Amino acid sequence: MDSSFGEPLLITAAGSVIAGFGNANSDLDLYAIVPDEVASTLPLMSYPEGSRIDVVLHGAGQVTKRYEELTTTHWPPAEIGPGDLGTRRQVLDSVSRFGLGLLLTGTPEWSSWQRRLDAELSGWISSWYAAEAVRKRIAARVFAERKPMVAALRIGEALAAALERRAVERGERYFKPKWLGEKLRKLDDRDGLAAFELAMCPPASPDKVPAYLAQVGELLDHYARDVDGSAWRVRLSHARGTEQYEFGESRLVTRWGLRTLSVPAGGPVDHAKTWTFALDEEWHPDVAALFVEDLLWLGVECPV
């Protein structure tokens, strides 16, 4: 192990091989915590005896900060904005690799931290997927009338998130969505596999979307029946790259100069930057129109 950033404090073998889903062509990930801060977490690759090994270095300060964020904040958060989802996903991905990995070596302090982390991960990952299932389902509802094919894709993603949560609660906690089918197969979850196939095979024509939405909706009600979202709400914000321009009696909303939508001046989107709704609340048509055209970002938060 390269010691350019100090002697490693902890080294774990992680990734799909350790999780039980790898094959002869899979690489092996070594996650290391080092005393000094590192400029990048891009893997350092090597090929001993033809095997690919990716070493990913993490500074101790960075890992400690990410861990504290997980232990001191609940999910969904009290207030959410663009970028928060990506940050949370990155934190869960990197920190979970240490907790679920095979401990190879470490100082007593960091080895104890790794064992403690293993016991804490399930709740964090489960809450992530619960919120994602709700978020994607709400998006599907808004898309249903205007872009039914997109609605079908979104509700399929909602079902996949609910199945990920189901797998976590049954012990399959590896935080990589591409292995969902293998997780369910490993658990011998035949009902879950059937639902997974449905999530991955949305209808090919708009006329079949309503029936698909209803069928998947029933499964979501089943798999998410224990999720208490009574205090949750939707927050919509302008997506990155969005700008507004006055144009007579209208306001033009554009993003990256690639798409533009005209909404009435003086309406709910005039000068406003965020909107909040209850989960089952209907959105104002102007707000919904902006969202459908990919001009707004959707998040779920829990103020309580």
- Whether 90 shows a pLDDT value over 80: the answer reads yes
List phi, psi (to 5°) of 45. Answer: -95, 145
List phi, psi (to 5°) of 102. Answer: -90, 115
pTM of the model as a whole: 0.92
- Sorting pLDDT into bands at 50, 70 and 90, what band is 273? confident
**Residue 173's pLDDT is what?**
94
Render pLDDT for 11-39 as a digit per residue (tens, 0 to 9). 999 988 888 888 878 888 999 999 988 87
- Sorting pLDDT into bands at 50, 70 and 90, what band is 5? confident
Q: What is the mean pLDDT of the chain?
A: 92
**Residue 96's pLDDT is what?**
94
**Residue 255's pLDDT is what?**
92
**Residue 1's pLDDT is what?**
59
d(CA 110, CA 88): 22
**Residue 65's pLDDT is what?**
94
Give the least confident one: 132-141, 217-226, 255-264.
255-264
More confident position, 45 or 42: 45
Which residues partner with 34 through β-bridges?
Answer: 59
Which residues partner with 53 through β-bridges?
Answer: 28, 46
Pairing of strands 274-278, 10-14: unpaired
The secondary structure element, H or E, covering residue 299 is strand 296-301
**CA separation (Å) from 174 to 12, 30, 92, 93, 98?**
14, 15, 10, 9, 11
**CA separation (Å) from 15 to 111, 134, 161?**
19, 28, 20
Query: How many Cα atoms are found within 13 Å in the side-chain-facing hemisphere of 23?
Result: 3
d(CA 246, CA 133): 37
Neighbours of 132 (CB within 10 A): 23
Give the least confident one: 61-65, 162-166, 220-224, 257-261.
257-261
Contact present, 274 and 237 (Cβ < 8 Å): yes
**Residue 143's pLDDT is what?**
98
